[in-house]
Structure 1
Amino acid sequence: MSEDNDALSTPVMRQYLEIKVLHPDAILFFRMGDFYEMFLEDAKEAALILDITLTKRQNQIPMAGIPYHATESYIARLINAGKKVVVCEQIKSDDPKAKIMQREVVRIITPGTVVEENLLGSYQNNYLSLVLCDKKYVYIAFADVSTAELIYFYLPESDSDRIKDTIQRFSPKEVLYSPESEKYLGPATQDKKLTLTPVRPDFLPDAKTKGIDTVVHVLDAYLKYNYRRHDFKFKSPRLIDESEFLGLDERTIEHLELVENENQKNHTLFGVLNRCVTPQGKRHLKQRILFPSSNPEMIRSHWDKIQILTSFKKERTKLLSLLDEVIDIERVLSRFRGGKASPRDFRGIQKSITSYTQIKTILDEIGFSFSSLHTNLQELNLKFDTRLSEGELPVFLGNSPFLKSGYSKEYDHAILAKEKGKDWILELEEKEKKASGISSLKIRYNKILGYFIEISRGQAKDAPSHFVKKQTLVTGERFTSPELEEMERAILAADEIIEKIEKEEFEYLISACLENFSDFLSLASEIASLDYHISLTICKEEYQWICPEIREDGVIQLVESRHPVVEAFLPMGERFVPNSLDLNPREDAIAILTGPNMAGKSTFMRQVAINQILFQMGSFVPAKFASLPIVDRIFTRIGSGDNLTTGESTFYVEMKETAYILNHYTEKSLILFDEVGRGTSTYDGLSLAWAILEFMGKDFPRAKTIFATHYHELTELEKGNGIFNLYLDTFEKEGEILFLKKVKKGKSKQSFGIYVAKLAGIPSQVTARARELLTGLESKKKEIKIKQEEPSLFGNLVDPELLSKTKSPTEIRILKKLEEIDINKIPPIEALQILEELNRWSKEKE
């Protein structure tokens, strides 16, 4: 133990521990020479994540290290694992007597604050979320440091489900939270890769600061703490008014596979629509998928732009070529703010401004609305033109010329000296040798004397008069000359002059770019929108989508609609079977959808929802005809699984999701239920499903609903309350089943579950026995159904003769009560139970 203490008490380790105690929740990169070293638990954890060697300092302290010049790839892996990284650099000490190198933290890198290109997904927003309580409300902010975007929600604290759902919906990489808001994080805390960061008290403003100003203050304080010497600013905070958008909760986004698919990443709505060529266009597309508009004028404006781009295909091709020259300006400027600029970025900005100007000219010609380039950006481009080298710019200053020839005489001369210095020396050597006739004359260089002329001892006496002696050696004499000294000054000063001038101009151009920050953001927004509309236009043409109509009576009418993702990835030669749907909130509002497994129920339900999303995105839709209303929310209850981390069963999760829908839907919502009630016993599940449909059918006007089920008893509800039946058709011949995937009005004959089991490979003995059991059960069901349909059935049970045999007054009251029951107004499964019980009771009395 004492040896360990001795190892930790060295000056370097004491310095390390002093810094580490301030950052207990992060991996500390401690600069030592050409390496960043990690010690103790940090070393063990990093070695495991980074797959690097774990060694020991002084044979006692766990240690692991990485080269300082290769940090980004290692940092990326730590960030992806949800870790924070503290970068501690060596700095020059003002104390000449200092025994060890001074060190200080220069940057804290967290998953929500990265701006480095290789740490970010090209089109994925990288959100840092902030959750703060404000009296009876909760602020939820989402800041993307890499694009300067800042949006926020203002929700009542009583709506905890909505608060948790909003946080999950944005999939932030890191969540900042105040102590009183921790309870709203919910399931987010279960993701080990999600970084949770408590808000430090010193990040909070004084009591005078209120509302969104508090949010901005906390974010600014956190970023200044992380970046130390750099200042980040966001676009004006934008309050998300959910009434402006079609509401999609996290479950719906996941169930419909809008932007992610665990098995096949491209098999999503985003994957089909993504024809964007710019990163900002891709991000814009993703946001429009997750936030479709509820504004009819906005939707119509999207259609108008698609129509224009459709009419001018040749111009559209030119636009795509120009868009390909546009860089991710938002992220480049954020890197500038974070001290991560590259000279090559200026060329990208220069090309982007030029492309924007050409894009504007084309769009003006075809009547597509597009903003003019701001004068400030035109002037900035002139600065680029007059300053930047015409060749390829370097990744780092000093690697190759950065400035244009002719911009600075001093710079040009320094570049010439650097590039031609050796040639000058050789030329001077040849010149002096020829003029003096001294064959042994050589011009050499060392760090002490610099450049010098060396002549052998035998010929030293013939040195020209303009040579000045510098050093005498046994083997000869060393000289200099006015011309050599002038060359030496130019050559040796070249690097310093180049570095000074390039650094000054580099910082000037960064400052000039950041001065035009808001204009650049407007440019990026216009580019993203154009890229988005071209992408939708390409999809519309490739898949032959049509322009839908907006209707105000709440009716959903789809004629021969298709699922865009399933259709796009069908095997060669297969054709998607289209289907139609009419949902009327006053009449046929709730469709009970029956049919076999594998018949296409889930695909049909999803395609209805995705057509609605495309419509409210301002896209054309995959259908022969579409007349759609604007809906406020889409809810889905499709599939489920256990939540093992919280001990929640499949059925409990199913009921929680169902409860969320029943407590939040409105008459303007679109709801998709798939197999609700299947996670429990048959009687329980059927009763719940029945009660849910009755509950929803009482509303007027009703929410538009598709309720897929294998409970065929539910089809009896078609008699009222806006409920009607749909089914997936099949063709059966000689024991073989063909799933036609066609939706028709009515109810399916059977589920063909045993046939599906056979296709899946269940042993034939099992499926044969199942068929025998099914035949027996269906026979019993038919017998009971006949009894149900006898109008005098209850009367027969309570006739006078039976009553005369009854001695108990209680039994008499029960029988008289049964006379009031209408067998046709209770669920069939309950009728079955009552009839069986009465038959048994009657036999006992007889």
Structure 2
Amino acid sequence: MSEELEALNTPVMRQYLEVKSQHPDGIVFFRMGDFYEMFLDDAKQAAVLLDITLTKRQNQIPMAGIPYHAMEGYIAKLISGGKKVVVCEQTKSDDPKAKIMSREVVRIVTPGTVVEDNLLSGYQNNYLSLFLAEKKFVYLAFADVSTAELVYFYYPASEHEKIKDTIQRFSPKELLYPESSLLPEFPKDSEIILTSLSPSFFPAKETKPIDTVVHVLDAYLQYNYRQHSFKFKAPRLIDESDFLGLDERTVSHLELVENQNNKNHTLFGVLNRCITSPGKRYLRQRILFPTRNPEMIRSHWDKIEILSGSKKERAIIKTSLAEMIDLERVLARFRGGKASPRDFRGIQKSIQAYEGIKSVLDSIGFSFSSLQKGILSFQKQMETRITDEELPVFLGNSPFLKKGYSADYDKASLAKEKGKDWILELEEKEKSNSGLSTLKIRYNKILGYFIEISRGQAKDAPSHFVKKQTLVTGERFTTPELEEMERAILEADEIIEAIEKKEFDFLVSLALENFSDFLHLASEIASLDYHLSLTECKEEFQWICPEIREDGNMILTESRHPVVEAFLPVGERFVPNSIELNPSEDAIAILTGPNMAGKSTYMRQVAIVQILFQMGSYIPAKSASLPIVDRIFTRIGSGDNLTTGESTFYVEMKETAYILSQYTKDSLIIFDEVGRGTSTYDGLSIAWAIIEFLSKDFPRAKTIFATHYHELTELEKGNGIFNLYLDTYEKEGEVLFLKKVKRGKSKQSFGIYVAKLAGIPEVVTSRAKNILSGLESKKREIKIKTEEPSLFGSLLEAPSSSLTQGEERILKKLKGLEINKIPPMEALQILEELNRWSKEKE
């Protein structure tokens, strides 16, 4: 046997290997005394991820360790890196002859099942997802263990893109699936942890899909938490017809909740004036899931209107909100056995704050639920028991219960607090009464408390002294009073611990009995916080309340981009713009204009204002009447998907194909530069065909199509297509981008000027101007040549039967030719062909 195998063949390592074999996908924290040790590959991974020292056990086995009391900090690092942690603790062995401690897995910590504060983001949900294929349908469930939320969707199994979009939109930390199922393909750089489940996690008998979902989630949490059970809110089916559909690309393109360059420069960043964590989570959900229910939109506006007229009351409410703790997550910790004494003080303050908020809201006519009887009863139970002093982080660190609640607790607390004083006082009393100067009261773990007197004075010990031990140097005694005092002092900690634990567990169980009422309380606070945030934005940025239209028309007057406007440099003013779209005459806007003129901002602001509207928010505009749309699609930006070998153009076409297959007459579509990823003629042809395709329907989807293909402006001859452009002002070689959208088409792209602004060397931009000038002159030369009657007139008038093949080819190019609309490179090719043909004829 090799030295390495010998090192593994020890009782402890066999124990470790057994645990590891049952949990091959997790890093095992193996408790050994005051440390959690990791071995073999786990140790190698942990050393890198946790920046700890890699050593060796018996000079053979890779090993790394962390102090047990610092476990949560290290787990946080591993979880954020997408790892699972298996916590294996020492336990008492049932075998009295056992030579080593027994060990047992007490918790499996995974990214989707954490409830600890330091492992969670305050304002983001931490979703655990379940993918379940049932016959012709796929069920997707999203559970947040830390808030008890459970929602689910179902789709036809063929809807691969919708399934993938929904998963990516929720961004679950962990996705569960039956080991027999095939999952959608995710990008290789996806941070979602995929966990396959064996049949043991599923119900033995066939059940309804939603019952199967709940069973699987419960079983998985029971497996991870071992001794603790969880329960969710009632599962809620998400009907997509209730919400404005935003696919993952649209959420990313519009930078609704994330921005790679600046995390605050998002719609969430602008709207987030929330004080509470539930409020922040509620805001994020409303951004990602705006409603399609007009009555719900109006109810949001009503609340904003009430709060807007109550500035003084808002200030009082915000002060009270600052006292609220994250009740959803506190209750989740209770369910996971992670309750802390200080949580109860937080709950007390939250209940008191809620009552104060309720009183203020009642005075201004804002509907707000009353506290349920169970919560009020729980509050009284806490007031009866819990000390008014600062509560400890852990039981036993300082008093948890108030004086007067329990006579036994008070007596034990007094003994713990005054025990040393009692001993000193007894020593002084006995020394004074006996006159023995060497009398001392001492303590050791074997004898406990005892009176020690020197050998010379021991013979004079009082009669009530009972001998305990004789030493060379003296005698040790006890007394009935000392024994009673000793019993009170030594039993104090045990009595305190037992009473505190009993009352603590009672309060935890009572809180969980009122679980649903607490969750309702938290949802009321989240909703209020949300409406306060929208009110603050409405007043700070002077937003207005739009009107709801039922005819599909969109009329935005002087609208603004809320994020761009919020972060403008001091002194700059956002240039507002208007738009009118309707399902008939003006459904598809072809938007032209130079780069940097503001096309992307304009298109995005139309989409974002629509989202704000369907969130029930006021909006940045002078006036607005808007329809409710079912989906917003965006095709903006470009980039290779290197992980799947997809080129820029392929990604562009794939996203475009998805839009063209999914949109309806009630959708809003934003296209930016579709077709630019390929050759000019290919791209122009594709863009042209897409616009024609969109224009065929009636009613038509509301569309903004930004492009540099000026030829597309010729489509403004009917079928609901019209032109918009970004205005510019040019003088003495300088260009001012006015950022004002007007009806019509732009004159030119100013690409060379933009290149100059970007820092392209002047020698390059000057050469580019000369090339452009030469190409444009070729257009003029074509015009002159086509107007020469001596040569070309006869060709244009000649019957087709008399033409040669070459003449027919040229004729096709000349007929209907509009010189100013020909791209420069195409003009050059036509000119060369004309010149060749002219020389041949001569």
TM bin (shorter chain): over 0.9
SS for the counterpart of 1:459 is helix
**Over residues 172-202 of structure 1, what are the superposed CA-to-partner deviations in whole Å (9 max), with x where a residue is unaligned?**
1011122454332x225x2353211012111
Q: Is the contact between residue 783 and residue 819 of structure 2 (CA under 8 Å) also seen in structure 1?
A: no
Find the counterpart in structure 2 of residue 47 from structure 1. 47
Q: Is the contact between residue 91 and residue 104 of structure 1 (CA under 8 Å) also seen in structure 2?
A: yes
Tell which deviates more after alignment, 199-208 or 731-740.
Answer: 199-208
Q: Is the contact between residue 795 and residue 811 of structure 2 (CA under 8 Å) also seen in structure 1?
A: no
Find the counterpart in structure 2 of residue 87 from structure 1. 87
Find the counterpart in structure 2 of residue 137 from structure 1. 137
Kindly provide the amino acid, as one letter, of the partner of residue 582 in structure 2. Answer: N
Q: Is the contact between residue 299 and residue 616 of structure 1 (CA under 8 Å) also seen in structure 2?
A: yes
Q: How far does residue 640 in structure 1 lie from its aligned partner after superposition?
A: 1.6
Tell which deviates more after alignment, 153-162 or 824-833.
Answer: 824-833
Find the counterpart in structure 1 of residue 633 from structure 2. 635
1:265-280 to structure 2, matched below 5 A, reads 265-280=263-278
Q: Is the contact between residue 710 and residue 821 of structure 2 (CA under 8 Å) also seen in structure 1?
A: no
Find the counterpart in structure 2 of residue 585 from structure 1. 583
Tell which deviates more after alignment, 664-673 or 778-787.
Answer: 778-787
Kindly provide the amino acid, as one letter, of the partner of residue 658 in structure 1. Answer: T
Task: Report sequence identity in percent.
Answer: 76
Find the counterpart in structure 2 of residue 530 from structure 1. 528
**Over residues 343-371 of structure 1, what are the superposed CA-to-partner deviations in whole Å (9 max), with x where a residue is unaligned?**
11111111111211221111111111111
Say if 1:791 and 1:355 are closer, same or farther in 2 by CA, change over 3 A. Answer: farther
Find the counterpart in structure 1 of residue 717 from structure 2. 719
Q: 2:540 aligns with which of 539, 542, 552?
A: 542
Q: Is the contact between residue 795 and residue 819 of structure 1 (CA under 8 Å) also seen in structure 2?
A: no
SS for the counterpart of 1:28 is strand
How far apart, CA to CA, are the structure 2 residues paired with 1:396 and 1:221? 30
Root-mean-square deviation (CA, aligned residues, Å) is 2.4
SS for the counterpart of 1:470 is strand
SS for the counterpart of 2:664 is coil
**Over residues 690-715 of structure 1, what are the superposed CA-to-partner deviations in whole Å (9 max), with x where a residue is unaligned?**
11111111111111111111111111
Tell which deviates more after alignment, 292-301 or 200-209.
Answer: 200-209
How far apart, CA to CA, are the structure 2 residues paired with 1:611 and 1:720? 28
Find the counterpart in structure 1 of residue 655 from structure 2. 657
How far apart, CA to CA, are the structure 1 residues paired with 2:783 and 2:513? 80
Find the counterpart in structure 2 of residue 240 from structure 1. 238
Find the counterpart in structure 2 of residue 166 from structure 1. 166
Find the counterpart in structure 2 of residue 103 from structure 1. 103
SS for the counterpart of 2:456 is coil
Q: Is the contact between residue 798 and residue 815 of structure 1 (CA under 8 Å) also seen in structure 2?
A: no
Q: What TM-score comes out, normalization by structure 1 length?
A: 0.96
Say if 1:842 and 1:155 are closer, same or farther in 2 by CA, change over 3 A. Answer: farther
Q: How far does residue 845 in structure 1 lie from its aligned partner after superposition?
A: 6.4
SS for the counterpart of 2:16 is helix
How far apart, CA to CA, are the structure 1 residues paired with 2:638 and 2:546? 33
Q: How far does residue 837 in structure 1 lie from its aligned partner after superposition?
A: 6.0
Find the counterpart in structure 1 of residue 207 from structure 2. 209
Kindly provide the amino acid, as one letter, of the partner of residue 270 in structure 1. Answer: F
How far apart, CA to CA, are the structure 2 residues paired with 1:205 and 1:599? 60
SS for the counterpart of 2:304 is helix
Say if 1:805 and 1:40 are closer, same or farther in 2 by CA, change over 3 A. Answer: closer
How far apart, CA to CA, are the structure 2 residues paired with 1:164 and 1:654? 18
Find the counterpart in structure 2 of residue 772 from structure 1. 770
Does 2:77 correspond to 1:77?
yes
Find the counterpart in structure 2 of residue 200 from structure 1. 198
Say if 1:796 and 1:303 are closer, same or farther in 2 by CA, change over 3 A. Answer: farther
Residues paired across the two proteins, number: 840
Kindly provide the amino acid, as one letter, of the partner of residue 480 in structure 2. Answer: P
Tell which deviates more after alignment, 774-783 or 239-248.
Answer: 774-783
Tell which deviates more after alignment, 376-385 or 209-218.
Answer: 209-218
Q: Is the contact between residue 794 and residue 819 of structure 1 (CA under 8 Å) also seen in structure 2?
A: no
Q: How far does residue 792 in structure 1 lie from its aligned partner after superposition?
A: 14
How far apart, CA to CA, are the structure 2 residues paired with 1:668 and 1:801? 50
Say if 1:782 and 1:437 are closer, same or farther in 2 by CA, change over 3 A. Answer: farther
1:782-801 to structure 2, matched below 5 A, reads 782-784=780-782, 796-797=794-795, 799-800=797-798
How far apart, CA to CA, are the structure 1 residues paired with 2:499 and 2:268? 47
SS for the counterpart of 1:373 is coil
How far apart, CA to CA, are the structure 2 residues paired with 1:469 and 1:161? 87
SS for the counterpart of 2:297 is helix
Q: 1:306 aligns with which of 304, 307, 317?
A: 304
Q: Is the contact between residue 797 and residue 842 of structure 1 (CA under 8 Å) also seen in structure 2?
A: no
How far apart, CA to CA, are the structure 1 residues paired with 2:794 and 2:167? 62
SS for the counterpart of 1:327 is coil
Find the counterpart in structure 2 of residue 692 from structure 1. 690
Find the counterpart in structure 2 of residue 156 from structure 1. 156
Tell which deviates more after alignment, 207-216 or 281-290.
Answer: 207-216
How far apart, CA to CA, are the structure 2 residues paired with 1:737 and 1:65? 65
**Over residues 275-324 of structure 1, what are the superposed CA-to-partner deviations in whole Å (9 max), with x where a residue is unaligned?**
11110000000000000010000000000000000111111111111111
Find the counterpart in structure 1 of residue 3 from structure 2. 3
Find the counterpart in structure 2 of residue 709 from structure 1. 707
Find the counterpart in structure 2 of residue 491 from structure 1. 489
How far apart, CA to CA, are the structure 2 residues paired with 1:33 and 1:271? 47
1:331-480 to structure 2, matched below 5 A, reads 331-480=329-478
Q: How far does residue 781 in structure 1 lie from its aligned partner after superposition?
A: 3.4
Kindly provide the amino acid, as one letter, of the partner of residue 696 in structure 1. Answer: L
Kindly provide the amino acid, as one letter, of the partner of residue 201 in structure 2. Answer: F
How far apart, CA to CA, are the structure 1 residues paired with 2:319 and 2:463? 67
Kindly provide the amino acid, as one letter, of the partner of residue 81 in structure 1. Answer: G
Q: How far does residue 457 in structure 1 lie from its aligned partner after superposition?
A: 2.0
SS for the counterpart of 2:186 is helix
How far apart, CA to CA, are the structure 2 residues paired with 1:840 and 1:293? 64
Tell which deviates more after alignment, 832-841 or 265-274.
Answer: 832-841
Tell which deviates more after alignment, 795-804 or 783-792.
Answer: 783-792
Say if 1:434 and 1:784 are closer, same or farther in 2 by CA, change over 3 A. Answer: farther
**Over residues 820-840 of structure 1, what are the superposed CA-to-partner deviations in whole Å (9 max), with x where a residue is unaligned?**
986689996799678976885
How far apart, CA to CA, are the structure 2 residues paired with 1:239 and 1:133? 16
Does 2:55 correspond to 1:60?
no
Q: Is the contact between residue 325 and residue 351 of structure 1 (CA under 8 Å) also seen in structure 2?
A: yes
Q: Is the contact between residue 471 and residue 478 of structure 1 (CA under 8 Å) also seen in structure 2?
A: yes
How far apart, CA to CA, are the structure 2 residues paired with 1:714 and 1:820? 20
How far apart, CA to CA, are the structure 2 residues paired with 1:410 and 1:249? 62
SS for the counterpart of 1:575 is coil
Q: Is the contact between residue 82 and residue 192 of structure 1 (CA under 8 Å) also seen in structure 2?
A: no
How far apart, CA to CA, are the structure 1 residues paired with 2:819 and 2:229? 70
Q: How far does residue 461 in structure 1 lie from its aligned partner after superposition?
A: 2.5
Say if 1:700 and 1:789 are closer, same or farther in 2 by CA, change over 3 A. Answer: farther
Q: What TM-score comes out, normalization by structure 2 length?
A: 0.96
Tell which deviates more after alignment, 648-657 or 175-184.
Answer: 175-184
Q: How far does residue 782 in structure 1 lie from its aligned partner after superposition?
A: 4.6
Q: Is the contact between residue 786 and residue 814 of structure 2 (CA under 8 Å) also seen in structure 1?
A: no
Kindly provide the amino acid, as one letter, of the partner of residue 13 in structure 2. Answer: M
Q: How far does residue 802 in structure 1 lie from its aligned partner after superposition?
A: 7.5
Q: Is the contact between residue 589 and residue 721 of structure 2 (CA under 8 Å) also seen in structure 1?
A: yes
Runs of 5+ unmatched residues, structure 1: none
How far apart, CA to CA, are the structure 1 residues paired with 2:566 and 2:813? 59
How far apart, CA to CA, are the structure 2 residues paired with 1:791 and 1:712? 30
Find the counterpart in structure 1 of residue 21 from structure 2. 21
Find the counterpart in structure 1 of residue 219 from structure 2. 221
Kindly provide the amino acid, as one letter, of the partner of residue 158 in structure 1. Answer: S
Q: Is the contact between residue 805 and residue 845 of structure 1 (CA under 8 Å) also seen in structure 2?
A: no
Kindly provide the amino acid, as one letter, of the partner of residue 226 in structure 1. Answer: N
SS for the counterpart of 1:182 is coil
Q: Is the contact between residue 132 and residue 140 of structure 1 (CA under 8 Å) also seen in structure 2?
A: yes
Q: How far does residue 584 in structure 1 lie from its aligned partner after superposition?
A: 1.6
How far apart, CA to CA, are the structure 2 residues paired with 1:253 and 1:816? 49
Find the counterpart in structure 2 of residue 677 from structure 1. 675
How far apart, CA to CA, are the structure 1 residues paired with 2:421 and 2:783? 106
Find the counterpart in structure 2 of residue 121 from structure 1. 121
Kindly provide the amino acid, as one letter, of the partner of residue 131 in structure 1. Answer: F
Kindly provide the amino acid, as one letter, of the partner of residue 19 in structure 1. Answer: V
Runs of 5+ unmatched residues, structure 2: none
